[in-house]
Amino acid sequence: MAEGINKYALIENEAILLEYEGAVDKKILLQTLPQIEEILESLNVSRQNKRKIVNIAIETLQNLQLHSYQNGKRDYDISPLFIVAKSDEFITITIGNLVAQDEKAVLEDKILKINSLNEEEVKFLYGVIMKQTVVKFSTKGGAGLGLIDMKKKSGNELGFCFQDLDDTVTYFSLKVSVPG
């Protein structure tokens, strides 16, 4: 672990129910989802919220798989992180991964813009982007649709922070909270 990075920066007054740290692939995704469903079942989470949480888990795990920084000349010894936790009111999904510094401003702007939207504006933006298959705002596709979908499903602002490692890489944390 790189010195000075707090991978739990967004975890506050929450009990960690599931934690995975490492590379994410389809196998990990398929192993993790049943564990999440079992946890949610044991907590008597409503069917509707369970579906939202599982969908957000899929989206965040896919983000870790597709958008994690690929180490170049320097090994930062930081693996992607996925956490499911519970507070008094919410089930939270928190992820952490390395992001290139040159992607930081764009990502931060996207999240701030999404967080500034009310429920109707989020639904409208989601619909607009779903209809626009030609326009892409991300080099890996999606136009930020996953972030918009997480806000739409959770009904809450997306929590996030960046912890700079150096001038090329930052550690990005994202937190999504769903009533539990």
> Containing domain of residue 53, as a range?
15-179
Residue 102 domain flag: yes
Residue-level pLDDT at 94: 98
Residue 66: CATH number of its domain:
3.30.565.10
Residue 70 domain flag: yes
Residue 112 domain flag: yes
Residue-level pLDDT at 143: 55
Q: Rounded to two decimals, what is the model's pTM?
A: 0.89
Residue 42 domain flag: yes
Q: In 106-140, which positions are buried (b, 16+ CB within 10 angstroms) versus exposed (e)?
A: ebeebbeebeebeeeebeebbeebeeeeeeeebee
State the total domains in the chain.
Answer: 1
Cα 149 from chain centre = 11
Segment 79-88, tens digit of pLDDT: 899 999 999 9
Residue 66 domain flag: yes
Q: Which two tokens stand for residue 74?
A: 């320097």
Query: Is 2 a residue whose pLDDT tops 60?
Result: no
Residue-level pLDDT at 73: 47
pLDDT mean across residues, the chain: 89
Residue-level pLDDT at 48: 96
**Closest among 76, 67, 147, 63 to 112, alpha carbons compared:** 147
d(Cα 169, Cα 102) in Å, to the nearest integer? 8
Residue 143 domain flag: yes
Segment 32-85, tens digit of pLDDT: 999 999 999 999 999 999 999 999 999 999 989 887 776 554 577 888 999 999
Residue 1 domain flag: no
Residue 163 domain flag: yes
